[in-house]
């Protein structure tokens, strides 16, 4: 059995650690240092991870109830935030969104609009939703529950959320507030902290090898010489995860490997 130490200094066991819990912690870590902004993690594990961050090391985060209200950890309404107000938040930059993506490429471009040509799609997906505005205005990270070469692709079919190359090509107005920060998957955490903003492997989840991640990625990843293991939850975090997700929805989204 090995032990690791999290940023708060408490030891945690990695033996018996559940993959979904590691993913939730990795999502929570996306928000570390964000302070008093809207944390807007979309999806099952993202939402659980966001709530975990607020319940532990980022207590000032503002979060929605999924509808038109900002509510606190007890579900008490703090403020009214209908859809129209959310655009005020996004365009002010006071938000970190975690979106999904049917396709994501090495430069952080995202597609959830369509497979094939967007005007004559082979498969129609969600549409552009808020992805262009999110990526041009506030911090964006992505959640990929099933890391594979059909999701992490050399080129996305439609650019909904803009990556570093497309932002740069569109000019200073597009790069000014653009920041694609992390991609958290069921296998690993990735970032864009490279000279040319190509996606790099940041950490692998316990039980996953670097080769596993490379094989499951449809483009050439930047792989540093030393790739650490993703942080595992502390005992306190495990207790919080049980409180936040007593039904265990996280394990349905990411089963144990």
- Find the shortest distance in angstroms from Cβ 131 to other proteins: 7
Give the burial string for 108-135 (b: 16+ CB within 10 Å, else e). Answer: bbbbbbbbeebeeeeeebeebebbeebb
3-state class of 159 per DSSP?
A: coil
Pairwise CA distance, residues 206 & 23, whole Å: 11
Residue among 13 and 118 whose Cβ is closer to other proteins = 118
Pairwise CA distance, residues 68 & 158, whole Å: 30
- Find the shortest distance in angstroms from Cβ 71 to other proteins: 12
Site for other proteins in 108-127 (CB under 8 A): 113-114, 118-127
Question: Looking at 102, 160, 186, 234, which residue binds other proteins (CB under 8 A)?
Answer: 160
Residue among 158 and 244 whose Cβ is closer to other proteins = 158
Residue 226 binds other proteins, judged by CB under 8 A = no
Task: Output the six-digit token pair for 172.
Answer: 């200073």
Of the candidate spans 1-9, 42-50, 154-162, 211-219, the one that interacts with other proteins by CB under 8 A turns out to be 154-162
- Find the shortest distance in angstroms from Cβ 158 to other proteins: 5
- Find the shortest distance in angstroms from Cβ 236 to other proteins: 34
Residue among 66 and 246 whose Cβ is closer to other proteins = 66
Q: Which of 149, 210, 147 is nearest to 184 (CA)?
A: 147
Residue 167 binds other proteins, judged by CB under 8 A = yes
* Cβ count within 10 A of residue 78: 12
Q: In the chain, which residue ranges form alpha helices assigned H by DSSP?
A: 19-30, 44-55, 83-92, 131-137, 164-170, 172-175, 210-215, 235-244, 249-253
- Find the shortest distance in angstroms from Cβ 36 to other proteins: 22
Pairwise CA distance, residues 96 & 221, whole Å: 24
Pairwise CA distance, residues 106 & 31, whole Å: 22
The DSSP 8-state label assigned to residue 232 in this structure reads P
Binding mask 58-97 for other proteins (x = CB under 8 A): ---------xxx----------x-xxx--x--xx------
Q: What are 103's strand-pairing partners? A: 111
Task: Output the six-digit token pair for 67.
Answer: 């509808």
- Find the shortest distance in angstroms from Cβ 172 to other proteins: 6
The answer to whether 254 and 145 have CB atoms below 8 angstroms apart is yes
Residue among 158 and 187 whose Cβ is closer to other proteins = 158
Question: Looking at 24, 62, 131, 254, which residue binds other proteins (CB under 8 A)?
Answer: 131
Residue 132 binds other proteins, judged by CB under 8 A = yes
State the first-to-last Cα distance of the chain, in angstroms, to the nearest integer.
18
- Find the shortest distance in angstroms from Cβ 156 to other proteins: 9
- Total residues at interface with other proteins (CB under 8 A): 46
Task: Output the six-digit token pair for 3.
Answer: 């032990």
Site residues (CB under 8 A) for other proteins?
67-69, 80, 82-84, 87, 90-91, 113-114, 118-133, 135-137, 158-162, 166-167, 169-174, 176-177
């Amino acid at each position: 059995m090995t032990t690791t130490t999290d940023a708060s200094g408490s030891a945690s066991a990695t033996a018996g650690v559940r993959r979904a819990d590691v993913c939730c912690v990795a999502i929570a870590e996306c928000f570390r240092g964000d302070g008093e902004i809207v944390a807007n993690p979309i999806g099952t594990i993202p939402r659980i991870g966001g709530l975990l961050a607020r319940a532990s090391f980022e207590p000032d985060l503002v979060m929605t109830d999924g509808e038109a209200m900002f509510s606190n950890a007890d579900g008490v309404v703090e403020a009214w935030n209908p859809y129209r107000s959310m655009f005020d938040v996004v365009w002010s930059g006071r938000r970190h969104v975690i979106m999904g993506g049917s396709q994501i490429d090495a430069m952080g471009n995202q597609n959830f609009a369509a497979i094939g040509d967007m005007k004559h799609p082979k498969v129609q997906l969600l549409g552009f939703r808020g992805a262009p505005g999110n990526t041009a205005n506030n911090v964006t990270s992505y959640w990929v529950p099933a890391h594979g070469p059909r999701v992490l692709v050399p080129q996305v079919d439609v650019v909904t959320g803009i990556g570093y190359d497309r932002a740069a090509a569109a000019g200073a107005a597009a790069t000014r507030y653009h920041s694609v920060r992390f991609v958290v998957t069921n296998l690993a955490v990735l970032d864009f902290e490279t000279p040319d903003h190509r996606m790099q492997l940041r950490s692998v989840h316990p039980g996953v090898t670097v080769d596993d991640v490379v094989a499951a990625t449809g483009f050439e990843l930047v792989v540093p010489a030393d790739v650490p293991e993703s942080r595992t939850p502390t005992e306190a975090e495990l207790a919080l995860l049980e409180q936040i997700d007593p039904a265990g929805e996280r394990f349905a989204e990411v089963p144990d490997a």
